[in-house]
Amino acid sequence: MALLPLVVLLVLAGTVAVGAAVSWRSPPSREATVAAARTHGACGAVAAVLLGAAAALYVGQAGLGNSSPGGLGVTALLVPVAFGVVHTGVLTVAELTWPRPRGQVRRARLVRRGVLDAAPRWLVRLAAAAALAATVLLASGAALADGSGRRFSYAYGDTAGATATASPFPGAFYGQPAAWGLLLLALTTAAALWIVATRPAVATDDERAERALRRASAHRVLRGAVAASLVTVGGLTAVGGQAVWSAASHQGAGPVAVTGAVAAFLGLASLLAGVVVACVRAPGIPADQPVSA
């Protein structure tokens, strides 16, 4: 792991070099501008995945030696958050360095675009659902956890003081770093989407090419952020539901225990959904498809 910073720098330098070479070697025409923009977006997407994965590995490796109570749990929940933040940050840099129009530009479109106009609606809905689920999870976890903020206690039976305790549980101990990390991810995502919406349009006579390129950029930004959020929220929900089930199932599968089992299942489903979202390809213009009307 000592060579990780060097590997990261080499990957970033190579990606930027390839994108710059393709962009600058293209002749100054409208079609070449679209091709350069497509290549720039693809290189930025690859760099975002590689650097996001490197950040996640670094956070995981750095936290392996944390032997404090609950330290490994905090490290585990920060791994997907680190991936999402760095992934979105790299895409933001890619959008800021978007190829500028070169050659003869004969017209300019004046179009007012909203932050979410180019974003796929299904990803926007998933992002809203993940934000709502995170809010409900962190608030209920903080309210139900015991004084340590990382355990769930359940009183059972007729005997006074008969209590079962299980952990880890997403109380304030885990909820605070998760909340700060998800808030940072949300702010980074909002900034990246704003840059996507306001960057200069690609010089082309085909409006479909411009819309497709901008839609692909918004897709890449939301894809990584939503995937990281779903994995983080799903992991916390799964371990929290397991803790509730373990503590409340001493006297049989009562309503509380069943609720914990359902929460654990929903958490695993959210984890799987995050993996699926991360694998969905961004829309684009095939290289062999003409972009003229």
Shortest CA distance to 222 belongs to which of 96, 132, 113, 88? 88
User: DSSP letter string over 69-84?
Assistant: TTHHHHHHHHHHHHHH
> From the CA atom positions of the chain, what is the Rg in Å?
23
Predicted confidence pLDDT, tens digits, the chain (293 residues)? 434 443 444 444 444 444 444 443 444 444 567 777 778 788 888 999 999 999 999 988 887 777 777 778 888 889 999 999 999 999 999 888 877 665 555 555 556 667 777 888 999 999 999 999 999 999 999 988 887 888 888 776 655 567 778 888 888 899 899 999 999 999 999 999 999 888 877 766 666 777 888 888 899 999 999 999 999 999 999 999 898 888 887 666 678 888 888 999 999 999 999 999 999 888 766 444 544 44
Q: Report pLDDT for 60.
A: 86
As a whole number of angstroms, the distance between CA 119 and CA 218 comes to 5
Neighbouring residues of 48: CB distance < 8 A, sequence distance ≥ 6 = 86, 87, 88, 90, 91, 94, 220, 224
Query: Tokens 């371990």 appear where?
Result: 239
As a whole number of angstroms, the distance between CA 27 and CA 15 comes to 21
As a whole number of angstroms, the distance between CA 55 and CA 292 comes to 41
User: DSSP letter string over 126-183?
Assistant: HHHHHHHHHHHHHHHHHHHS-TTSS-EEEE-SSSTT-EEEE----SHHHHHHHHHHHH
Shortest CA distance to 242 belongs to which of 230, 226, 259? 259
As a whole number of angstroms, the distance between CA 10 and CA 138 comes to 39
Q: Report pLDDT for 112.
A: 64
Query: Tokens 């004969």 appear where?
Result: 106
Extract the tokens encoding 239: 């371990």
Q: Kindly tell me the burial class for residue 190, based on how many C-beta atoms sit within 10 Å of its own C-beta (0-12, 13-18, 19 or more).
A: middle
Extract the tokens encoding 230: 């779903």
User: DSSP letter string over 17-61?
Assistant: HHHHHHHHHS-SSHHHHHHHHHHHHHHHHHHHHHHHHHHHHHHHH
Phi, psi of 17, rounded to the nearest 5 degrees? -65, -45
